[in-house]
Amino acid sequence: MLLLIGWLVGFGYSQGNVDGVAAIVGNNIVLHSDVLQQAQFVAIEQRIDPSKNPYHFEKIYFSTLDNIINQYAILGIAEKDTNIIISNDEVDRALNQQIDDFILKAGSEEQFLEMAGMSMRQIKADYWQDIRDMMVVERYQYSKISNVDVSRIEVLQFYNSFKDSIPSISEKYSFSVIEIPFYTGEKSNMKTVGFLNGLKEKILSNNASFDSLAQIYSQDPGSAPSGGYLGFTQRGTLVRAYEEVAYSMEIGEISDPVKSDFGYHLIRLLNKQGEKISTQHILMTIDFSEEDRINTYNSAFEIYSSTNNNPAIFDSLSSFYLKTYKNNSGKYSNFPLSRIPDFILSQLKSLNDGELSLPVEGKDGYFLVYFYTFQKGFIPDVDNSWDLIYQYAKQRKQSATFINLVEDFKTNIYINVLNN
């Protein structure tokens, strides 16, 4: 976030203002830092680098601020609607889907976290309530505009007025991907476990402190600089394997190496208060050996051999790998070319319709691509895309209807935008 703060200072904001209030909406305070974080995610979605496009990011910032103000204006009224019920599971799914979309656009989870400037744990903690609020507002909006429709005459009027600004339909691909992460064998696991056991012995023999070793060796970028401290966390916030061990420990105790999806953790329990714990950890990811690389390739080639002429099985496996590993695996139907990662697109361009690629080595493992169809880009009009033009016209009328409703709400709410 330092990059964004530096950008704002360059546009006349002092450090105090960056961390201060951007707007007041009724009883709600909108902080500059909250607007910045959300604007950063919009920039990621639009693939915009704030340092290279500062004026474009300035527009994103103020547009984000307007959206937050409108959301607060609606939220208080929407929450009183007893017909709107949203479960925690729904919010979790929506949040995870949003994060998955950002990761796909960023290219990898590592790049996404680097661009966001936060750990995954912090992102989920900070944005859970925002996602829930957004879902409440969206459902309230739907209840108010779902009955708004357009006639044939209105569709034609819309097209005649906006045909020059209707976006062209980009090239699209339909394909499936299976990404097989590098499989770590027993030797690689034991090497990592042995290293962490060595660190534990140093701590227990008072030859080194947990804090200093975490700063030197931990591969968790979010906590390593502060000595591995995670602070107090609610049960269910951290990965299950970590929590199962941490909640069973005595205060001050240091665990044996604990394996999770991130690698191995050395955990120290600092405090426990009911369903909350305070811990620090040293995380070591598992280094992949040449033997591991070969084993992963063999697994990928086995999938290639068994699914080469059976796309239905391939699609089923792609869904399994997506759910299991949260990577680029999955089925993509009519997916815009602009949103396809380069390493997948390069394979699609080398394949024929209905062809499966051989295993290709990537950064985190091997992947396979099943290419189905390609759709050329075109400019939609009322002859070749009536349903699409109808939807555009309907959405515009619905949007105008709801905007008028929001403006009515705002006349009865105290709103003060600072330094704008």
Looking at the fold, whether 265 and 277 belong to one and the same domain comes out as yes
* Token representation of residue 238: 């951290």
* Token representation of residue 279: 């811990």
Q: Nearest Cα to 82, choosing from 136, 145, 142?
A: 136
CATH code, domain carrying 136: 1.10.4030
Domain end point (choices 268, 284, 300): 284
Q: What is the arithmetic mean of pLDDT over 2-10?
A: 32
pLDDT at 25 over 80: yes
Residue 43 lies in a domain: yes
Contact 24, 9 (CB under 8 A): no
pLDDT digits (tens, 9 = 90+) for 89-110: 999 999 998 888 888 777 778 7
Looking at the fold, whether 22 and 143 belong to one and the same domain comes out as yes
Q: What is the arithmetic mean of pLDDT over 152-172?
A: 94
Contact 393, 150 (CB under 8 A): yes
Q: What is the arithmetic mean of pLDDT over 238-260?
A: 94
pLDDT at 42 over 90: no
Looking at the fold, whether 218 and 322 belong to one and the same domain comes out as no
Residue 363 lies in a domain: yes
pLDDT at 194: 95
Residue 240 lies in a domain: yes
pLDDT at 19: 57
Q: What is the arithmetic mean of pLDDT over 147-158?
A: 96
Looking at the fold, whether 235 and 367 belong to one and the same domain comes out as no
* Token representation of residue 64: 């984000």
Residue 155 lies in a domain: no
Maximum mean pLDDT: which of 65-79, 101-115, 288-302: 288-302
Average pLDDT, the chain: 88
Contact 25, 69 (CB under 8 A): yes
Looking at the fold, whether 205 and 239 belong to one and the same domain comes out as yes
Would you place residue 413 in the very low, low, confident or very high pLDDT band (cuts 50, 70, 90)? confident
pLDDT at 11 over 60: no
Count of the separate structural domains present in the chain: 3
Q: Helices 88-106 & 32-45, crossing angle to 10 degrees?
A: 60
Helix (H) or strand (E) holding 72: helix 54-78
Q: Which residue has the higher pLDDT, 3 or 367?
A: 367
pTM score > 0.75 for this model?
no
* Cβ neighbours for 6, distance < 8 A, ≥ 6 positions apart: none
pLDDT at 31 over 80: yes
Q: Which residue has the higher pLDDT, 411 or 357?
A: 357
pLDDT at 9: 32
Residue 380 lies in a domain: no
Looking at the fold, whether 178 and 192 belong to one and the same domain comes out as no
Residue 337 lies in a domain: yes
Maximum mean pLDDT: which of 4-8, 73-77, 240-244, 412-416: 240-244
pLDDT at 419: 65
Domain end point (choices 252, 284, 316): 284
Q: Which residue has the higher pLDDT, 356 or 127?
A: 356
pLDDT at 107: 72
pLDDT at 1 over 50: no
Looking at the fold, whether 178 and 324 belong to one and the same domain comes out as yes
pLDDT digits (tens, 9 = 90+) for 325-347: 888 999 999 999 988 999 999 99
Looking at the fold, whether 21 and 43 belong to one and the same domain comes out as yes
Question: What is the rounded CA–CA span in Å between residue 32 and residue 304?
Answer: 50
- How far does Cα 72 stand from its chain's mean position? 23
Question: What is the rounded CA–CA span in Å between residue 103 and residue 107?
Answer: 6
Looking at the fold, whether 326 and 227 belong to one and the same domain comes out as no
Domain end point (choices 260, 284, 308): 284
pLDDT at 34: 83
pLDDT at 385 over 90: yes
Looking at the fold, whether 293 and 277 belong to one and the same domain comes out as no
Residue 254's domain comprises 186-284
Looking at the fold, whether 257 and 300 belong to one and the same domain comes out as no
CATH code, domain carrying 190: 3.10.50.40
* Token representation of residue 175: 């394909």
Residue 349 lies in a domain: yes
pLDDT at 420 over 60: no
Residue 158 lies in a domain: no
Looking at the fold, whether 88 and 197 belong to one and the same domain comes out as no
